[in-house]
Chain A
């Protein structure tokens, strides 16, 4: 039996989750990574995508809007702005969001006011679509 470690998921408005888990995987900015107990100190920026953690055999899957993860051997803290269960992702809504953001992006140039915010929305919608398509493929 693998050792467990403390995982805390924190959003600006609440402590979303705080419990012992066996493993979790998260979307790092340079690729997905998994963490088991005893992982080395690691600070990573998360991109929008799927966050999974396993607690005594049951897996929970969340879609996060990007954030940060700080890993220490005993404890992992994940800072995110918001999360929804992946089962609640609405693919058609995501497609609409993507289209809207794309149109707005076309009108803006990098560095212009509002560009960053629209690009974030674009990335989130894109990640949701990628996620649903991957899942369909299974």
Chain B
């Protein structure tokens, strides 16, 4: 049986770990709340933009606009948004599984990668998945629009150039609740033409022209999509970390319980042993 002092030391170390996991859980809960507020704050802009695109879609002849279709070039680009830090359960591994599946299913086209978050950079460093176009850590601050714009910039240029990519996908964790985050793959370019709006919209005047407005909306649309994915991913990360730290704290509790039991048994055993020795000694004298 382990010595008493050993068990005592283990209990102490598990207690320390539990304190850390508890603190991390609290921090994640606070950050999650803020991330959810960010998502809500970004919604009006994104909604309005989709509305504008929808009302424009009917105006532009057919599917001619690059926003809705592009000649096949056999090249596609995929943006993988993971986290910078670990200790968030299956958050990153779930994402990478989705990304891997996509890479396998589309191995006939030339795929380039944009990696966001240190975890995805490290993960894809070890495999030969495709050309890495960009590798950006997220950093400690909350995702801001500038980050999204800087990611989007290269992607748009590449998509709009002749012989560039013909499809752009984004892999991120969709935030559903603090407990549920779904790794998702979404095609952002070309965009599915939205349903046509009802007749009243046809009275709209456009400046400079429907095509001109759509041209300038394309990069913004990509930025908004990436920004939203970044925000969702941030919220998911905090949610995943909160849940995994919660279960880590619970595990620590049950470990402390069983170690305490073990400690008490050992203590009792040694007391009994000492008593037996004393009694044995006393009997020997008589």
A contacts, CB < 8 Å to B: 8, 10-15, 28-30, 40-45, 68, 70, 77, 79, 81-82, 111-117
Q: Count CB-based A-B contacts (< 8 Å).
A: 91
Say yes or no: B207 contacts A13, CB within 8 Å.
no
CB atoms of A10 and B153 under 8 A apart: no
B208 contacts which of A45, A70, A81 (Cβ < 8 Å)?
Answer: A45
Which residue of B45, B145, B206, B219 is within 8 Å of A10 (Cβ)? Answer: B45
- Pull 15 A–B residue pairs with CB atoms less than 8 Å apart, ordered by A: A8-B44, A10-B45, A11-B145, A12-B46, A13-B41, A13-B145, A29-B207, A41-B201, A43-B52, A43-B205, A79-B45, A79-B52, A111-B157, A113-B153, A116-B156
Name 15 extra pairs, CB < 8 A, besides A12-B145, A30-B208.
A12-B42, A12-B148, A13-B38, A13-B144, A40-B203, A41-B201, A43-B207, A45-B216, A68-B52, A68-B213, A68-B217, A77-B48, A79-B45, A116-B153, A117-B150
The CA-CA distance from A41 to B55 in the complex, in Å, is: 12
Q: A68-B217, A79-B48, A81-B145 are in contact. Are A13 and B42 (CB under 8 A)?
A: yes
Given contacts A12-B45, A15-B41, contact A42 B207 (CB under 8 A): yes
By the criterion CB–CB under 8 Å, are B145 and A41 in contact? no
B94: shortest Cβ distance to chain A, in Å? 27
Q: Are B161 and A45 in contact, CB atoms less than 8 angstroms apart? A: no
- Contact status of A70 and B207, CB under 8 A, knowing A15-B44, A45-B213: no
In the complex the two chains form, what is the Cα distance from A56 to B182 in whole Å?
A: 49
Alpha-carbon gap, A124 to B120, bound state (A): 34
- Given A43-B213, A79-B45, verify A12-B224 contact (CB < 8 Å): yes
User: B158 in the interface, Cβ–Cβ < 8 Å?
Assistant: yes
Contact in complex: A43, B55 (CB < 8 Å): yes
Q: Min CB distance, A31 to chain B, in Å?
A: 9
**Which residues in A have their C-beta under 8 angstroms from that of B136?**
none
Using Cβ atoms and an 8 Å threshold, which residues of chain A touch B161? 111
B210 (CB) vs chain A CBs: closest residue: A43
Q: Are B205 and A28 in contact (CB under 8 A)?
A: no
Find chain B residues with CB under 8 A from A116 CB: 153, 156-157, 219
